[in-house]
Amino acid sequence: MRIAAVLLRQSIPPVIPGRAKREPGIHNHCREYGFRACAKGASRNDAGDIFSNLISEPCLPFLNEPHMNLFAKISSATDERSARLAGIGLMLLSIFMFSFGDAMGKFLVATYSVGQLLLLRACAALIVLLPMVWRHRAKFMHLERPWLQLLRVTLSTLEVAAFFLATVYLPLADVVTYYLACPIFVTALSAIVLRERVGWRRWSAILIGFCGVLIALRPSSQTVSWPAMIALGGSLSFAVLMLITRSLRATPDIVLASSQFAGTFLIGALLSPFGWVTPSPGSFALFAVAGCISVGALLCVNRSLKLAPASVVVPYQYSMIIWAVMFGYFAFGDVPEVATILGAAIIIGAGIYIFMRERALGREETVVNPPV
């Protein structure tokens, strides 16, 4: 799934991506809070946006159990500098894994339908989650605001489907560029929809970020295509998804994660019969890996945020555009256009400014990873 991780602060939610594709809130309660997919990743469900919540230590104590000792042992640095370097390394590793998962998804949808990808990916993720769901089954008995939960699951599924559908027709770097704008959309929507106060500096960054989107989109009667609009629509859906998730803080993370994958599984089951192609054993293995890789990536993200402050590791999530360009070139022969690179640079600059501005204001932040 795509690799967007999103920074959603508890007061005014800015978003900084990281693919986190692709599914929300990894907390680091002893350090700074912050990290936005692109995060949920970002989700793009693949696991994205919800897995960040899923692996949040304060919410899921099962991650402290013996079978998670491997991650606990990674870089148990004794000094601050070593811990920060280990955190940066794990963040870079997670972004690589998210990007690799995105590239796998693009490769698979060249042969199989998007519905098939959603179905088999979600199936693999649910198998991984099943023991956790059973252990915490009591948390599924009483859900807050069920209709809002349903809307969140629907938006999550549409967002992931939009990402992979867009990759059928567009280079991977182009699609990732549109999703990089998610933090900007979230900040703008928090002011417009939630009536939260956003100062002129952040509004300036929002407008500059939108200019970056327009440069990457290259709008004209000849160049605006429906795949580009699908990718942009998926990015907007992910931004709304983050705002809804923010209002469902009382919902346990395991519920958020499993319900999202269950929704993806159901939509995939409805769509996959149309144009079904029986996968070979090798393709089945790729589907399974695509469904599981985001889990490992988000575990790396979680460990990274425990080793180093969010302000140190978050900017490295923008390295996903580098991997998107590299995977696109070497795996699919895609050469990004100058407008795409320029637009991505402007969007990244605006997103980092929003993140740093929120940090300067001392606002609490929550980490979420959207669609994996």
pLDDT in tens, 323-358: 999 999 999 999 888 888 999 999 888 888 887 777
Q: Outline where DSSP puts E strands in 157-305.
A: none
Q: How confident is the model at residue 275 (pLDDT cuts 50, 70, 90)?
A: confident
Q: Is residue 277 part of a domain?
A: yes
| Average pLDDT of the residues of the chain | 75
Q: How confident is the model at residue 22 (pLDDT cuts 50, 70, 90)?
A: very low
Q: How confident is the model at residue 96 (pLDDT cuts 50, 70, 90)?
A: very high
Residue 57 predicted with pLDDT over 60 = no
Q: Is residue 325 part of a domain?
A: yes
Count the Cβ atoms, other than its own, within 10 Å of residue 136. Answer: 18
Q: Is residue 269 part of a domain?
A: yes
123-165 pLDDT per residue, tens: 998 898 888 888 888 888 878 888 888 998 999 899 889 999 9
Q: Is residue 275 part of a domain?
A: yes
What integer is the mean pLDDT of 176-188? 83
Domain boundaries, position 286: 6-368
Q: Following CA atoms 3, 215, 223, 165 in sequence, which dihedral angle do they give, to the nearest 10 degrees?
A: 10
* Percent of the chain clearing pLDDT 90 (strictly above): 21
b or e along 234-252 (b: 16 or more beta carbons within 10 Å of the residue's beta carbon)? bbbbbbbbbbbbbebeebb
Judge contact between 180 and 63, C-beta under 8 A.
no
Looking at 18-145, list the stretches that DSSP marks H as alpha helix, in order from N- to C-terminal side.
Answer: 48-54, 69-73, 80-109, 114-135
209-253 pLDDT per residue, tens: 889 888 888 766 555 688 889 998 998 988 888 788 777 877 777
Q: Comparing C-alpha atoms, which of 100, 97, 3 is closest to residue 330?
A: 100
DSSP 30: T
Q: Is residue 15 part of a domain?
A: yes
In total, how many domains does the chain have? 1
DSSP 56: -
Q: Is residue 191 part of a domain?
A: yes
Q: Is residue 128 part of a domain?
A: yes
Judge contact between 327 and 160, C-beta under 8 A.
no
Judge contact between 26 and 53, C-beta under 8 A.
yes
Give the per-residue pLDDT at 314: 67
* Percent of the chain clearing pLDDT 70 (strictly above): 72
Burial class (CB in 10 A: 0-12, 13-18, 19+), 283: middle
Helix (H) or strand (E) holding 6, with range, is strand 6-9
DSSP-based three-state secondary structure for 368: strand
Q: Is residue 1 part of a domain?
A: no
